[in-house]
Amino acid sequence: MVWKPHVTVAAVIEQNQRFLLVEEQTSRGLAFNQPAGHLENNEDLLDAVKREVKEETAWRFEPDYLISTQLWRRSSTEPTFLRFCFAGYVHSHDANQALDDGILAAHWLSRDEIAQKNNLRSPLVLESIDEYLNGERYPLSMLKSFIDLT
At 2-57, the pLDDT tens digits run: 889 999 999 999 999 999 999 999 988 999 999 999 999 999 999 999 999 999 99
What whole-number distance in Å separates Cα of residue 51 and Cα of residue 111? 24
CA-nearest of 33, 41, 32, 37 to 51 is 37
Confidence tier at 1 by pLDDT (50, 70, 90): confident
Q: How many CA atoms lie within 13 A of 125 on its CB side?
A: 27
Question: CA separation (Å) from 35 to 1, 4, 21, 54, 125?
Answer: 31, 23, 6, 9, 10
Render pLDDT for 59-113 as a digit per residue (tens, 0 to 9): 999 999 999 999 999 888 889 999 999 999 999 999 999 999 999 999 999 999 9
What whole-number distance in Å separates Cα of residue 76 and Cα of residue 73? 7
Assign 57 to helix, strand or coil. Answer: helix
Instruction: List the Cα angle 14/19/20 in 5-degree steps.
Output: 105
- Give the pLDDT score at 76: 86
Confidence tier at 119 by pLDDT (50, 70, 90): very high
Whether residue 1 contacts residue 7, with contact meaning beta carbons closer than 8 Å, is answered with no
Confidence tier at 123 by pLDDT (50, 70, 90): very high
Confidence tier at 134 by pLDDT (50, 70, 90): very high
- Give the pLDDT score at 87: 98
Alpha helices in the chain (DSSP H): 45-57, 111-115, 124-133
Domain segments of the chain as ranges: 6-142
Architecture of domain 6-142: Alpha-Beta Complex (3.90)
pTM: 0.94
Confidence tier at 150 by pLDDT (50, 70, 90): low
